[in-house]
Structure 1
């Protein structure tokens, strides 16, 4: 057995164990840290497969940005673990059904699309023989054979970002929104109100005369 094969089995075993700890750990921070470990092991496996671009991309994007954001969110939120554990059994049937559907769909996609993936890699055989790098080969496959799938994935991510922002800011109490239509239809009567007030009156003449008389007597 070659040394690279031994490393592959070690990294694969660590990846499986860390993935199981992500979903079985009771502490959300520990789950996030185990997910970081899973990403590192996946990157190591890609390095063994000579996919350096994907390995570096996984470490920089997911470990360096996404997981740091997850850790900040998990550590800053006041999560009541007792409530989560109390309602866990109620969501197990629905989570099982959803998980089974995802696994079946993923299996069907891989089974149906494996031939297309193999053909796409055969199309890049000439580039590999010409000495192209893995990054250039991946770019050729993504932007030629899988351009529509790549654009649909970007559109789905954009919709997810917009939906997350709208759900977050919709119920905020101190959130102020600007209604352009109301500003366009504004009238002078709605903005300015003229108030009529009585003019201030001066002191009565009798009081002024008394004050002058008292000054002369003194």
Structure 2
């Protein structure tokens, strides 16, 4: 009984938060409602026993993505009049997309009621480990069968990060850059100066 009440409570909060994300006039408030929706979705994942997905929602989406959205929105100088004009201008396109998404939703519900598609017989290789949490089962699967794909995804993310840094790097003449070779060749006796200051003499700049 308590599981059913908890499920409906968190599900109602997720739906309400999603509605407020759309209806809030202030973008900062929209991001805060989005964070609340992520937290309630994480609670739903914990309720069904998927604590790994719940942890990803909190750490990745709330701790990184939503906070990044919040900082970007707070740092930007948003012209609300221009936003309203753009909304009116793009309203027909939005209605077309709404009809398309609604048609996809109806089609998906019809396909779900018609029955699932049999893609093959599972061989049991990806079955969860006995007497272990789903986090341990996912880790064992990632670092055994899908190790190459997991490492390839890490390399792609690293390349994307380096590319973003290179593309946004700007060399300014008024900012003195680092001389790595000079720093490496520097000796301790060149960096440390021993002095014997007099009492009450202060510091010489």
1:134 matched to 2:134: yes
Q: Equivalents in 1 of 2:102, 2:145: separation in Å?
A: 28
Kept in 2: contact 1:124–1:137 (CA 8 A): no
Q: Distance in 2 between matches of 1:79 and 1:118?
A: 52
Superposed displacement of residue 68, structure 1: 1.0
CA contact (8 A) 2:24 2:30 kept: yes
Superposition deviation, residue 131 in structure 1: 2.1
Please state which structure has a larger fraction of its residues in helix: 1
Contact map agreement 2:17 2:33 (CA 8 A) in 1: yes
Q: d(CA) in 1 for partners of 2:96 and 2:50?
A: 34
Alignment root-mean-square deviation, CA? 4.4
- Alpha-carbon distance change, 79 to 59 in structure 1, aligned in 2, over 3 angstroms: same
For residue 98 of structure 1, report the CA deviation from its aligned partner.
2.8
Q: Residue in 2 aligned with 1:33?
A: 32
Contact 2:3 2:47 in 1 (8 A): yes
Which of structures 1 and 2 has the bigger CA Rg? 1
**Residues 10, 43 of structure 2: 8 Å contact kept:** yes
Q: Could you say what secondary structure the match of 2:128 adopts?
A: helix
Q: Which runs of 5+ in 2 are unaligned?
A: 172-205
1:127 aligned counterpart, secondary structure: coil
With normalisation by structure 2, the TM-score equals 0.60
The residue aligned with 2:79 is 80
For residue 20 of structure 1, report the CA deviation from its aligned partner.
0.7
Q: Which residue of 2 aligns with 1:216?
A: none
Q: Contact 1:43–1:59 at 8 Å: present in 2 too?
A: yes
Q: Distance in 2 between matches of 1:133 and 1:115?
A: 29
Structure 2 vs 1, CA of residues 125 and 69 (structure 1 numbering), >3 Å: closer, same or farther? Answer: closer
Question: What is the alpha-carbon distance in structure 2 between the residues aligned to residue 45 and residue 118 of structure 1?
Answer: 30
When residues 135 and 88 of structure 1 are mapped into structure 2, their CA distance, relative to the original with a 3 A threshold, is same
1:198-213 equivalences in 2 (<5 Å): none
**CA apart distance, 1:18:** 0.5
Cα distance in 2 between the residues matched to 1:104 and 1:32: 28
Aligned to 1:4: 3
Aligned to 2:186: none
Q: Is the 8 A contact 2:128 2:134 kept in 1?
A: no
Could you tell me which runs of 5 or more consecutive residues in structure 1 were left unpaired when the two chains were aligned. Answer: 177-218
Deviation, 1:85, is: 1.0
Query: How many equivalent pairs are there?
Result: 161
